[in-house]
Amino acid sequence: MSNIVMTAAAGGNLRGEIQIPGDKSISHRAVMLGSLAEGITEIRGFLQGEDPVATLQAFRAMGVRIDGPEEGCLVVHGVGLHGLKQPPQPLYLGNSGTSMRLLSGLLAAQPFDTVLTGDDSLSGRPMRRITEPLSAMGARIGTSEAGTPPLSIEGGRRLEGIDYPMPVASAQVKSCLLLAGLYAEGRTCVVEPDPSRDHTERMLQGFGYVVERDNNTVCLQGGGTLKAAPVEVPGDISSAAFFMVGAAISEASDVLLQNVGVNPTRTGIITILRQMGADIALENEREAGAEPVADIRVRGSRLQGIAIPEHLVPLAIDEFPALFVAAACAEGETVLTGARELRVKESDRIQVMADGLTKLGIEALPTEDGIVIQGGQMTGGAVDSRGDHRIAMAFAMAGLRSSSPVLVHDCANVKTSFPDFIESAWRLGMTIKETAW
């Protein structure tokens, strides 16, 4: 694969309105539950990025008819919980950890064997966090010696519901176990140390499945059915985060990000930026399906460094690359702790962001579970995203406050979550280009 480089010109601001592409997390789950439901599910706002398309192709390979996507619209002809067929070959899931972890849960109870594979990045990500509790339910899943993909899932296993206290808040692990629980005998309960995104629980209820929630405990009974239901996918706040930060750090900026999901388990980015002094307003608040939605207006402001409260970490886990750029532009010191999870994302996001910020002239000290960033003047220069889409887009925003252009290497994976990122940035007034080296 050629090296895709994004070059962001130095300075400028963001002004205007854009529509944010569909939420990646919700797009995955809509295809999964629509496929397992009885009846036909229409999905609008589906993110046509590489990750959700990997989920879509996996279900097609297991015999589900899916029409589209066409302008974000899909029609899924559900086969019911027991209607999937053995795929003719291993399911390749590209860079998508969500696809692999959630599919593992629902495939652990199928009557056929499956193998899940991915690209080099996904093949290095930890999977024992799902294989161990699934094994406790009765699943049998093979991994590498390091507990990484490929995953070999043995069919014909009888699953039993479990009570599982999660060591770390993770929506992917929680969702994996809940999907396995649909097939398990008895009751499956997951207890989180802190709240994580709850799209799976909301969507299960939207498909007519009874889910019990009590504080940080989520339970369901196996053996029910899913009934097809329309799904409207809101804009992805994780994608909106880059332009929220870009507007917040650049003077005279004024952007309106339309139709963004503001599920309270995902709005840590808003809370943290507001604590730093950002001017953020939610307008036109409404409901889209089971999800709260709003237009987000952000104006340029002077940011202050803060100690980020640990309870907000799971509510902003995917937005920290962008938040680190905000911290680099803030006055004073920003300290993050309790975020060890960032080290096992598409890259080690703590180390890769610290390396990049240092190259841009910012003092950034990585710690075991976080980072300490001293705000200052970014000098511009070349940074390496290590193939991580969120890091690539975060460093593109750094150009708005750099004294010379910022070149971001290894950006091909931006297409996994935000295929139109460059075009959206142009529409808001950024001078940015993409080249292949």
Residues involved in catalysis: 318
- Closest among 278, 242, 238, 229 to 262, alpha carbons compared: 238
- Closest among 303, 301, 297 to 276, alpha carbons compared: 303
Sequence-separated (6 or more) residues with CB below 8 Å from residue 434 = 4, 5, 6, 7, 411, 422
Sequence-separated (6 or more) residues with CB below 8 Å from residue 218 = 174, 178, 189, 190, 192, 198, 201, 211, 212
Phi, psi of 99 (to 5 degrees): -55, -50
Q: Give the DSSP H/E element, type plus range, for residue 10.
A: none
CA dihedral 82, 83, 87, 90 (to 10 degrees): -40
Other beta carbons within 10 Å of 283: 10
**Cα 241 to Cα 91: distance, rounded to the nearest angstrom:** 31
Burial class (CB in 10 A: 0-12, 13-18, 19+), 437: exposed
By residue count, the chain amounts to 437
Largest distance between two CA atoms of the chain: 61
Sequence-separated (6 or more) residues with CB below 8 Å from residue 314 = 169, 170, 194, 195, 196, 265, 268
Give start and end residues of each alpha helix (H) in 195-285. 199-206, 237-249, 268-275
**Cα 272 to Cα 334: distance, rounded to the nearest angstrom:** 11
Other beta carbons within 10 Å of 368: 9
**Cα 159 to Cα 141: distance, rounded to the nearest angstrom:** 13
